[in-house]
Copies of this chain bind each other. A is one copy, B any other.
Amino acid sequence: MKIVMVGEAATHRDALSAALDFPAQFIALPREAHESDAWDDQIEGADVLVSMRFKRRSPAPAFRLLHVPGAGLDGIDFTALPAGATVCNVFEHEIPMAEYALACMLEHQVELAALRARFSTEQWTHAYLKRQPRGELFGKTVVIVGFGRIGHAVASRAQAFGLHVIAISARAKAGRVDGPMDEAYTPAELDQVLPRADFVILTCPLDERTRGSFAAAQFAAMRPDAVLINIARAAVVDPHALYHALRDNLIAKAYLDVWYRYPSGDTDLVAPADYRFEDLPNAYCTPHASGWTQGLFERRYAFIAANINRLHQGQPLQNVVTNPNRV
């Protein structure tokens, strides 16, 4: 069996190989191979292509399975796939992303770094006697936009802190929202609940319905003391509206872990956005690190190996996906 791994995925070859039930041929290709045909002769005839992204202008080389080593499918041009190719994805990032989201909420509320900065032996008397009481997560309200695996993982932790959880999900229309939440509404009802939010956390997929869906009207509906946390995809949020909401203090703060443009390789010095969000004091910008843990990769490549073992044995694959934008 021939397994081609593209970009960062190739660094996990040993973990994948160790979990396979059979010997396989591995080929590692640079990140650029996801959109350039320069390596297509090496991809041609592969049983498995492991890549977060896939695009082609020319006809694609043949392969049987594209295994995305993540959950998001927005990097895949489904119309460019070779005939008969199956696509699978993998999750397991709900744990680190929920930990990241709660870290943001607690950072905002506790401001641990600011407390540390105030402490010194010389300043002790003043720092102690002049302590200013902070707020609490307890009793506050969090609106979670998109209530899939990540939304559930954020919500169960948030509820343990006594936060009131409002889920936004298309399934709310039919009353079919399960999971750890106190109330649920449809995306069409979002603007009505935004004024109640202390925290808004975006965990929805990027698709034709969500692209640019969080824009000026949504920021206008939020309170000036509210906080936005985006761990979904940047393009869910209109960048112009976001920049002005932060600059003009329509909201208190945004934790931004996802970006509008990603480098295609080491030499691609692309800007993450049209605005320098990091220059705004109330923008807390991180380099798409919310889901990036050792545990994530251990769980993901164990899952991908199990799927490849199934392919090898002719068994049905898990997490088979179809084009989310097909009507």
* Residues in chain A within 8 A of chain B (CB atoms): 8, 31, 95-96, 99-100, 102-104, 106-107, 109-110, 112-113, 115-116, 118-121, 124-125, 127-129, 131-139, 156-157, 159-162, 259, 262-263, 265-266, 268-273, 276, 278, 284-289, 292-297
B288 contacts A128, CB within 8 Å? yes
| CB within 8 Å for A95 and B128 given contacts A112-B286, A119-B286, A292-B133 | no
**A133 lies within 8 A of B278 (CB):** no
Q: A95-B162, A136-B295 are in contact. List 16 more A-B contacts (CB 8 A).
A: A99-B136, A100-B110, A102-B161, A107-B113, A115-B287, A116-B286, A119-B285, A124-B263, A124-B269, A124-B271, A131-B289, A133-B294, A133-B296, A134-B289, A135-B293, A139-B295
- Which of B106, B119, B285 sits near A103, CB closer than 8 Å? B106
- How far is it, in angstroms, between the C-alpha of A133 and the C-alpha of B271 when the chains are bound? 23
| Bound Cα distance A287, B96 (Å) | 30
Residues of B within 8 A of A138 (CB): 95, 99, 295
Bound-complex Cα distance A112 to B101 (A): 10
Q: Is the beta-carbon distance between B278 and A121 smaller than 8 angstroms? A: yes
Please give, as numbers and ranges, the residues of chain B lying within 8 Å of A137 by CB-CB distance.
99
A-B contact pairs, 5 of them (CB 8 A): A95-B162, A99-B161, A100-B110, A128-B288, A134-B294
- Partner of A278 from the list B96, B120, B159 (CB cut-off 8 Å) is B120
- Docked-complex contact B103 and A112, CB < 8 angstroms: yes
Using A118-B287, A119-B287, A297-B133 as known contacts, say yes or no to A104 and B112 having CB atoms under 8 A apart.
yes
Closest B residue to A118 using CB positions: B287
Chain copies in the assembly? Answer: 2
**Interface pair A259/B124, CB less than 8 Å apart:** yes
Query: Complex formed: what's the CA distance from A17 to B298 in Å?
Result: 58
> In whole angstroms, what is the CA distance A119 to B116 when docked?
22
Chain B residues with CB below 8 A from A296, complex form = 133, 136
A137 vs B159: C-alpha distance when bound (angstroms)? 17
Q: Is the CB of A121 within 8 A of B276?
A: yes
Please, how many angstroms separate the alpha-carbon atoms of A268 and B288 in the complex? 47
Please report the C-alpha to C-alpha distance between residue A113 and residue B128 in the assembled complex, in whole angstroms: 24
Q: Which residue among A100, A121, A161, A292 has the maximum number of chain B CB atoms within 10 Å of its CB?
A: A121
Q: How far is the CB of A104 from chain B (nearest CB, A)?
A: 7
The 5 closest A-B pairs by CB, nearest first: A160-B160, A103-B106, A127-B287, A115-B286, A125-B263
Choose one: B95, B125, B270; the contact of A266 (CB below 8 Å): B125
| A161 vs B159: C-alpha distance when bound (angstroms) | 11
Question: Which of A115, A127, A289 has the most chain B CB within a 10 Å cutoff?
Answer: A289
Cross-chain contact B263 with A116 (CB below 8 angstroms):
no
Instruction: Give the docked Cα–Cα distance between A115 and B291 (Å).
Output: 13
- What is the CA–CA distance of A115 and B96 in the complex, to the nearest angstrom? 14
